[in-house]
Structure 1
């Protein structure tokens, strides 16, 4: 039984060491991707902030009585092993759906990434309008944002307003779930006095600007989410590697203690199995190493009074730890 236990511990130690190698490799890859994503995030923030300037300066808002259709774009990725970064977006979307449907409004969701689809499909499947895959395998580009925006505009769903929900990058160990507003062309064009500060706005110009703004906001969300994901994965893999090191140390200690108990038990069985007979004396000793820094010395004293008589064994065990 003890030998089986030692074998099990050895197998588990080997598997944990292999997992630790994987987590360390993933941490290094995530660190390289994070450095690249952080550099590319700065220009994306400039584009996104500039595109939102029209909404902020003109104070564009959809009238409450007309804002009956909402669209939510949730941005995650196809990959995991990055903590609770995807579940945070899903939780926010579920809360928004509950609030809007409670107010009697129609809500549809566009899932960006398979992870978000898996989190929403079972409980909010009827609200899902589109699913966008192959996100997160490569760094996001402006073309990816254009495809998502085109799918939304060509879907036939005439929304009044909506929001893009994503993880906003704050630092290498911190991110926050954030959302940016989006509006339909009709909502922007019918803003009345809010748009009066802009003279001679052609309908085509307004449409082009609205589409460009939508793409820029989605692109900003993709960049923010990608940077947050890589930083979260780097942190998660670092924690996993540290936990693996602790488990290896504990299992190594357990293995050494179990091996020591096995050797001690076998020595006791050998010694107790020697039956005493007549007085015949022989002196011999046996040393068995327990660990690299320990040794066990067994001294047996055997006495005999006559060579014709059968030997009588008397044994004494002395354990010396160095």
Structure 2
């Protein structure tokens, strides 16, 4: 009776190990599939990064001319003014903390302006985050962006919609500035209204062809700043996604190694239990 009891215990233990072994095998297979997906996404992001950097370099050339103009004209923002914050992000995730960083920067800037601010978001990710804290300040939002490098046609349509909100003395475009393949930082462009450009002390350095030049400059500067911000943000996002997928692939590789060792040890334990079961059963027949 004692030997039969031992045999029954061994069989029960073996069944439990079999179930555990099957669970480990399924988990290992799942992690391997995840590693394949993250590796593929890393390759795709690496391919897109070159194109994103070219678009970013082109936008910086145009934005540099705006910066030089403002530096020479020296326009000033009125002290009592309401600011429009245009926060640039995208609709896609799986790219680390890039969306949360620009959202935090927007909240800080809104606090510095003592609530005298309206907000426009470009991208669903930043819209979702700012709705939680500044839903009453959100006047306009755009989605369907960030899938490809931005172009001026797309940006012009966005700028035209923003213009329907009315006149603002100051517009600030918040975005993620691309620093290197592994880093970015929240930054901003300042866009001055037509009235501020007309009153700029250094405007006399330029020969203006018509009276509406300042209005045209303000509109073009807004579109140009949004284009540069979206191009910088796109390059930062693609780079961050590549790094995130690379880290995910490495973590998956480490987990695969750990679960492979666990699987082999569990399998050896199952084989040992089976041998004990066979030997015990044979002994009980003697």
Aligned position for 1:22: 37
By how many angstroms is 1:194 displaced?
A: 3.9
**Distance in 2 separating the partners of 1:20 and 1:231:** 19
- Secondary structure of the 2:150 match is coil
- Secondary structure of the 2:76 match is coil
| CA 1:116–1:276: 2 relative to 1, 3 Å | closer
**Distance in 2 separating the partners of 1:194 and 1:201:** 16
**Distance in 2 separating the partners of 1:7 and 1:48:** 59
By how many angstroms is 1:126 displaced?
A: 0.8
Written as runs of structure 1 = structure 2, the 5 A alignment for 1:35-74 is 35-64=50-79, 66-67=80-81, 69-74=82-87
**Distance in 2 separating the partners of 1:200 and 1:40:** 30
By how many angstroms is 1:58 displaced?
A: 1.7
- Secondary structure of the 1:126 match is coil
Which sections of structure 2, spanning at least 5 residues, go unmatched? 1-15
By how many angstroms is 1:239 displaced?
A: 0.8
Aligned position for 2:238: 230
By how many angstroms is 1:270 displaced?
A: 2.4
**2:84 paired with 1:84:** no
**Distance in 1 separating the partners of 2:146 and 2:27:** 33
Aligned position for 1:3: 18
| Conservation of the 8 A alpha-carbon contact between 1:52 and 1:213 | no
**2:154 paired with 1:141:** no
- Secondary structure of the 1:182 match is strand
Q: 2:223 aligns with which of 183, 190, 215?
A: 215
Q: Whose RCO is larger (CA < 8 A, sep 6+)?
A: 2
Question: Structure 1 or 2: larger strand share?
Answer: 1
**Distance in 2 separating the partners of 1:54 and 1:202:** 17
| Conservation of the 8 A alpha-carbon contact between 1:168 and 1:175 | yes
**Distance in 1 separating the partners of 2:174 and 2:71:** 18
Aligned position for 2:268: 260
Deviates more, 1:194-203 or 1:241-250: 194-203
**Distance in 1 separating the partners of 2:74 and 2:17:** 75
By how many angstroms is 1:199 displaced?
A: 5.0
CA RMSD in angstroms comes to: 1.6
**2:170 paired with 1:161:** yes
Q: 1:132 aligns with which of 130, 139, 142?
A: 142
Which sections of structure 1, spanning at least 5 residues, go unmatched? 278-311, 313-322
- Give the greater-gyration-radius structure (CA): 1
Q: 2:108 aligns with which of 95, 98, 113?
A: 95
**2:47 paired with 1:32:** yes
**Distance in 2 separating the partners of 1:228 and 1:200:** 37
Aligned position for 1:152: 162
- Secondary structure of the 2:105 match is helix
By how many angstroms is 1:171 displaced?
A: 1.2
**Distance in 2 separating the partners of 1:116 and 1:87:** 7
